[in-house]
Amino acid sequence: MPALELTWYGADLRTGAIAEELPSLRLDQPISLRIGAPTSGSMSLALAGAPAGWEAAVDPGRTMLVAVDTLTGQPLWSGIVLRREGGSGPTVRLQAATPEAYLDRRYPGDYTATATDASTVMAALAAPALTSGLPLTVDAAVSGATIDYTMADADDRTILSALQEISALAGGPEWTIDTVWADAAQTRFQLYLRIRSALGSTSGDASFDMPGCIASYSLSESYERGKGATRVVARGDQANNVRATSGVHTADSLLASGWALWEHRWTPAQGITDTAQLDQHATEALALMGTGTRAWSVEAVASAAPRLGTSWDLGDTVSITIDSSPRHPAGIATTARAYAWTLDPSADRVAPILLEDE
């Protein structure tokens, strides 16, 4: 398969309309995406090869950069231009952040919901960002998780913080912002806030193997603070001079099978006074932390690997097959979910970060 090359565009932040193609833009570092969180990128624009309207196409706060797979025409990454710096040198340096970062600059105001599907709550909290904001459409599917939720404007919490908090609840939906073509003529881009009980496909059809497309890999197993626990307690804010606290959640089956008692206490987010909400956080944390984490960092040859954005994407379950390595001399075959990825086209490398399925 041909190398994964990117075509870069500068687009209007309000409408998504393409202002200029930017053939002289180069990455200073790999680009990446992560479920439910913003990422950033650093680029350089060589002025000698820039179009006449380059300055308006990369105006901070008013434009976004979009990377499209040249072969497939699939948008893979977009970033809002937040910083531009240049002078007597031949290049202009750009800093950009994915559209998720915009939600950390908008506030949902006062909001209260009772016995409401978590996806509906997240969509309502994100709704203010649709006014005088990005070319953003909310695409939310029912999650099946019913929650009570309250947010006060006086808490100064952003839309991003609210979405991340709800995602961390037991059964909380996952979310990301996708960049797609808005029209058949491919003259502008549209952003979709996808809210799902779980993002991606569970088919595992995309396969990373060694020998094969995998150049190197590492399996990280952790029971460090914040990554492993057999007993958890979530703490909130004070109400009527009493600090809201979840029940004590213990992995009794693990303790019975010989695990030690490891305790974890934390505050999921400011402003929580509802113990039921704290119990949901504690339930999810215990499910994730009971036996610790197993994360695969795979560096694959992009031109030999399953095609990013076509064969697999954020949230998809993929297959990993290692015939033999010093860590796994007898080999190993497993499946894991892509909760993040990094792409370095100049090095022909794509690196999914994979959380092993339970």
pLDDT at 357: 61
Among 99, 133, 152, give the residue marking a domain's end: 99
Q: Name the domain count of the chain.
A: 4
pLDDT in tens, 177-188: 999 999 999 999
pLDDT in tens, 99-128: 999 999 999 999 999 999 999 999 999 999
The parent domain of residue 302 ranges over 207-222+293-356
CA distance 37 to 177: 9
Phi, psi of 229 (to 5 degrees): -170, 150
CA distance 191 to 204: 26
The pTM score is: 0.91
Among 70, 99, 128, give the residue marking a domain's end: 99
Residue 354 — pLDDT band, cuts 50, 70, 90? Answer: very high
Residue 358 — pLDDT band, cuts 50, 70, 90? Answer: low
CA dihedral 19, 21, 27, 28 (to 10 degrees): -60
Question: Which distant-in-sequence residues (6+ apart) come within 8 Å of 332 by Cβ?
Answer: 320, 321, 322
Say if residue 187 is in the same domain as residue 215: no
Say if residue 90 is in the same domain as residue 14: yes
Say if residue 39 is in the same domain as residue 88: yes
Residues 26-52, mean pLDDT to the nearest whole number: 97
Q: Which residues pair with 189 in a beta bridge?
A: 181
Q: Exposed, middle or buried, 129 (CB in 10 Å: 0-12/13-18/19+)?
A: buried
* Residue 102, phi-psi category: left (phi > 0), alpha (psi -120 to 50), beta (remainder): alpha
pLDDT in tens, 257-295: 999 999 999 998 777 888 888 998 899 899 989 999 889
What is the pairing mode between strands 174-181 and 40-46? unpaired
Say if residue 161 is in the same domain as residue 27: no
Say if residue 212 is in the same domain as residue 329: yes
Position 178 in a domain: yes
3-class DSSP assignment, residue 304? coil
